[in-house]
Amino acid sequence: MMHPAKTLHHVCLILALAVTLPMLQGCFGIALVGATTGALAVSDRRSIGAQTDDQAIELKASARLSKALKEVSHLNFTSYNRRVLLTGEVPSEAVKAQVAEVVGRIENVQGIYNELAIAGNSSLASRSSDSYVTSKVKARFIDADEFSANHVKVVTEAGTVFLLGIVNQREANAAVQVARTTSGVLKVVNVLKIETDAEIKRIENSLANSATSNQ
């Protein structure tokens, strides 16, 4: 087994390399995204361009960091409207900051929510529990029928639920209320982008017109 000090040194070297290497994965990521564009959510308030960029960002972040650091870290990358939520566990504050730096250098990333915890890797049981909590929150969104469940993305890590999406204030309040009253949820972190009703209407009309023109 590698000594902890040597392990951390190895991690830092990998992260430094990830920061300085050119974006070699670019063409590969674009090919994959192009193949999956047709599967993007129809009722998403993000533009098709933003959805495509989000997929590419997640692929590139995972390619640069997940495999390289899998022995000492558990990393999740969730990009929504070109802003990336980082969740999981890392061994130190230095690694946490460096992971954010690497992701922040990826093309089209416009912001980072760094929620990485300084802790040992979570167990498979914990991750399964998180997946179950996510499914319960999503199901309760549908049951509550106060907004479209497609407009709010749910990510759960160690019992903490993160909410991402483009919503108005009423929808945001409803989403937070449903999530925080779901069994198994320890905490809710609201990273929703709040827009006015007028802006939401403009976004939806723009997307509808774009879909019609592409038919």
Query: Rounded distance, CA 13 to CA 37, Å?
Result: 35
Alpha-carbon Rg for the chain, nearest whole angstrom, is: 18
Query: Rounded distance, CA 175 to CA 206, Å?
Result: 24
Q: Could you tell me the CA-to-CA distances from 88 to 2, 63, 173 in Å, in that order?
A: 22, 16, 26
In this predicted structure, the answer to whether residue 124 has a pLDDT above a threshold of 70 is yes
Task: Supply the pLDDT for residue 114.
Answer: 98
**Residues whose CB falls within 8 Å of the CB of residue 43, separated by 6 or more in sequence, listed in order:** 148, 150, 151
- In degrees and rounded to multiples of 5, residue 41 shows phi and psi of -60, 135
Mind listing the pLDDT tens digit for each residue in 46-79?
999 999 999 999 999 999 998 788 888 999 999 9
Task: Supply the pLDDT for residue 209.
Answer: 86
Residue 69: DSSP 8-state: T
Mean confidence (pLDDT) of the chain = 86
Task: Supply the pLDDT for residue 15.
Answer: 53
In this predicted structure, the answer to whether residue 43 has a pLDDT above a threshold of 90 is no
Task: Answer for the pair 53, 83: CB distance below 8 angstroms, yes or no.
Answer: no
Tokens in use for 88? 């999981």
Task: Supply the pLDDT for residue 17.
Answer: 46
In this predicted structure, the answer to whether residue 38 has a pLDDT above a threshold of 90 is no
What residue ranges define each of the domains in the chain, with the CATH number in brackets?
4-118 (1.10.287), 124-198 (3.30.1340.30)
In this predicted structure, the answer to whether residue 131 has a pLDDT above a threshold of 70 is yes
> Predicted confidence band at 183 (pLDDT cuts at 50, 70, 90)?
very high
Task: Supply the pLDDT for residue 2.
Answer: 47
Query: Rounded distance, CA 75 to CA 88, Å?
Result: 5
> Predicted confidence band at 35 (pLDDT cuts at 50, 70, 90)?
very low
Query: Rounded distance, CA 191 to CA 113, Å?
Result: 8
